[in-house]
Each structure stands twice: as C-alpha cells, then as structure tokens.
Structure 1
Amino acid sequence: MSENRTERNKAVVLEFLTTAFGSKDFASLDRYVHPDYVQHNPFIPPARAGLRGFIAGLPDGTRYEPGAIIAEGDLVMVHGRYSGGPGKPLLGVDIFRFEDGLVVEHWDVLQDEVDAQDTVAGNPMFTNPQTTGPA
C-alpha cells in the first residue's frame, strides 16, 4: 500500500471522527464509511446507519479529540478522547479497517479517563504527541 493511501486513510478517520462527534456533521461519515460496515462495539448498532444514529443521539457538546494515530496497510489506529457526554471523558483506541477506500470495519477499547494527579505515575492518560511532543 502506498504512503499516500495510508496518509489518506488517516486523514479520513480523523475527519469523520472529529466532524461527526464534534458537530454532528455526517458528510464525511456518509462519504467514507461503507453502508454495511461491521461494528464491533457492543453498544453501537450495526452498519453506518447504526453509527450515525448512535452519534445523533449523543448530547450536544459531545466532541472527539484525536491523539496518536498510526496506520499500516489497510488499518488505522487512533488514540483519542470522547468528552462532553454524561460522566467522565472516555479514552479510546479505535481501530478501523479500509477496503477500496472506505471504512469497512471498526473495533475499539474504551476506558474512563483518570486525572493525572490521581494516577500512580502522575502522568496524563491522554496527550497528542503530534502537537505536544513526548511527555
């Protein structure tokens, strides 16, 4: 897979996550996510329509902040923060699989964010190494 395609896949994931979760603008989600994509999150209904409905039902003010992002082959993985909903912000590692330029599959691992002062190491659980550099 070419570096250009890998970079495009990363840009697609960042665009649809930030616009869909941040402003409920679904244009990029509708453009880049396959209608029948496979959803592995146990709380989100299947296919693109299920993801769209799930996001549409989130409280206004919900947002997504991307952190570290890596891609290899047809996979893109991004560490990010989901905030603005009920409860603590969630940190997630989302994994997306592309096929023919579209997102066709998604997995995630989510956990509540713990404030840095409450962690044993005293380090934040979320940073963006693309803008802040190493901790």
Structure 2
Amino acid sequence: MTTENKAIVERALTGLLETGDVGALAPFLSDDFVHHRPGGITSTRQEWLALVRDALVPLAGMRVEILRLLADGDHVVMHSRRRLPGGPEITVVDIWRLDAGLISEAWEIIEPDAQAAANLTWWDPAYQ
C-alpha cells in the first residue's frame, strides 16, 4: 500500500507539472478532498483545484526539485524546493493522505528560504 500510494502522488503531481493542467490532477482527488494550510485555512476539492488553476499562469516555469518523497501507510510526504525564474526560492512540505487509491486530504507548509534563519528563533520574545 505504501508503494502504491507514493506512486499515485507521483503520477498526480507529474501530470500537473508536465501538462500545466489541473485536469491531470483532478482524477487523483476524492470527491470529499480537503486541503489544509496553516492558520486554519481549508479548501474543498473544487476550491483547491480553482486555486491551483489560477496559480498555473503566474507559476509557469517554476522549477520543482523533489528532495524527499516518503510514504508510511496511507500518508505520503513530499519535501521540495521550488523556484520561479528570477524569483525567490521556497521550501515546501506537502503531506497527502490517501483513501481507496485517491488523495483525500492534503496539508501544505511553505517557507521562503530567505526567512529560514529568522524562523529558527520563533520562540524568542524578541522575534515576536
């Protein structure tokens, strides 16, 4: 199951990145898919696909370097570095939960690399 889930996530993301079309991603998402972002922001399947579709033009030419793709049971974790041509570099951790061969839930954490050093001391009162 772990290997199969990892392959499903790889196919979904490869299809999206190669075609630039959310239509390549949609068949891999369950009807009740939920996407989570920090701050309690959640999106339904349709809302998230619309957000991805709207981001495809500004993100055209983005380089995605997958650093790690790990799977454990029904979860797949991807650690990647992404960069727009001439733009900032970000580090992203995506966590995908699969159910019955479809991606049913996702969490995404994005950190601009330029802010990484400051985030190492988030607990320091001087930082707040």
Higher relative contact order (CA 8 A, sep 6+): 2
Q: Counterparts of 2:14 and 2:113 in 1: how far apart (Å)?
A: 19
Aligned length: 112
Q: CA RMSD in A?
A: 2.8
Structure 1 stretches lacking a partner, 5+ long: 120-135
Match of 1:51 in 2: 48
Whether contact under 8 Å (1:18, 1:64) holds in the other structure is no
- Displacement of 1:27 in angstroms is 3.9
Using the size of structure 1 for normalisation, the TM-score is: 0.68
**Cross-structure match for 1:98:** 98
1:71-90 equivalent positions in 2, closer than 5 A: 71-84=71-84, 87-90=87-90
User: What CA deviation, in whole Å up to 9, does each residue of 1:60-106 have, x standing for no partner?
Assistant: 22343322111111000010123227841221111011111111111
* Overall identity of the aligned pairs, in %: 31
Change (3 A) 1:56 1:17: same
Would you say the 8 A contact 1:21–1:63 is kept in 2?
no
Runs of 4+ in structure 1 displaced over 3 angstroms? 42-45
For residues 13-54 of structure 1, what are the alpha-carbon distances to aligned partners after superposition, in whole Å with 9 as ceiling and x for unaligned? 122223324542334411111132111115976222222211
The residue identity in structure 2 corresponding to 1:30 is A
